[in-house]
Amino acid sequence: MKKKIMSMLLTTVMAVSILAGCGSSQSKTESAATDTAATEATAEQDKTADTTADTATDTATGGGKVGVAMPTKDLQRWNQDGANMEAQLKEAGYEVDLQYASNDIPTQVSQIENMINSGCELLVIASIDGDSLGTVLEQAKEKNIPVIAYDRLIMNSDAITYYATFDNYMVGTKQGEYIKEKLDLDNADGPFNIELVTGDPGDNNARFFFGGAMDILQPYIDDGKLVVKSGQTDFETVATANWSTETAQSRMDAIISANYADGTRLDAVLCSNDSTALGVTNSLEANYTGEWPIITGQDCDIANVKNMIAGKQSMSIFKDTRTLASKVVEMVDAVMKGGEAPVNDTKTYDNGTGVIPSYLCEPVFADAGNYKELLVDSGYYSEADLQ
């Protein structure tokens, strides 16, 4: 291409010289100007070609800047999510801007805005509140920056490109099935007393966890085999702001005082995750004198694994953040190279603007019987972590 351009320009110069003759100073000036233009055009072609080649090389080898916005460091799992993703993205050749927002929505909005304005080419976001990011993500959309919602679906925004999470409905069904099996609800006479604790009302996942569990348990509540003595059964009432351990503990204190202080037996507490399960356990230890109930959980946080080993928490759902991080890095890599991210669900997760193509990792049941194989032997925790 460069040779063709030079040939055309030289031909033009020669033609001008022949037509103008040898004695015209004007033609000499025009010829010099044309030569200069030819040189500049060639240089510009070289510069453009070099830039294109550099960009292609960066894309092919994983170059570029990725913004990762996590909600908080207060929950152990988010620290692990962020660290795993950062390490794997850097290993794949990407620059990473990892931020935690201390569960403060304005802080997260500001962090995302800074990522957009500082050259991030793709955003991975675990939102604090799924409905709070629409405005700032409009800026990402205007700049054609893809957005992957991480574990928590971002609602009512058409800026979301993909969603990566675990099968959150399955998490709930595993918890519900565990309670059903341990209480032998299909065969035992009952009734059995149960209380319900789920997560943050602004987290779309909480509804999937709770919905999955209640699809298993609700028929037994309806026929009286399971009894919620507090009467607190609707999602908004049993939700726990920010998945707070302290909030869950305070609510459980009140439930025990009003319904179980007289020695009435509590058979099970459905807890959607480990931070709420920890609050329930703390409350029971301080206020409850009856036989210890079944307590479910999710995330396999260290304190909760210790409680499982001690017999204080019955089970948890293990969501290996290394697996999710690996999948997200694979999705990021595909998108940054101009392709489509791998997905395995295109029907389930509608964020209010349409169904978001998703990749769902499978959650795994954990209890005192298999925690060592799942958590220690796999290198997720060390033995010392659980002492």
364: which 2 tokens? Answer: 């795994």
* Confidence band for 14, pLDDT divided at 50, 70 and 90: very low
Whole-number pLDDT of residue 61:
52
267 or 130, which is more confident:
267
Residue-wise pLDDT tens digits, 229-288: 999 999 999 999 999 999 999 999 999 999 999 999 999 999 999 999 999 999 999 999
Q: Are 298 and 368 in contact (CB under 8 A)?
A: no
The whole-number average pLDDT for the span 349-360 is 97
State how far the Cα of 87 lies from the Cα of 172, in Å rounded to an integer: 30
Residue 228's pLDDT is 99
**How many whole angstroms from its chain centre is CA 191?**
39
Tokens encoding 181: 């099996």
Per-residue pLDDT of 44-96, as tens digits, reads 444 434 433 343 334 445 689 999 999 999 988 899 999 999 999 999 999 99
For position 13, what pLDDT does the model report? 35
% of the chain exceeding 90 in pLDDT = 82
pLDDT for residue 15: 37
pLDDT at 360 over 90: yes
**Averaged pLDDT of the chain:** 88
Helix axes 274-287, 245-259, angle to 10 degrees: 40
Residue listed under structure tokens 């971002």: 154
What are the beta bridge partners of residue 290? none
User: Is 301 a residue whose pLDDT tops 60?
Assistant: yes
Q: Which residues contact 285 (CB under 8 A, 6 or more apart)?
A: 312
Return the residue matching tokens 């609800």: 185
Distance CA 337, CA 120 (A): 15
pLDDT of residue 7: 38
**Where is average pLDDT lowest: 1-10, 222-231, 245-254, 282-291?**
1-10
Provide the percentage of residues in the chain whose pLDDT is more than 70: 84
Mean pLDDT across 192-212:
97
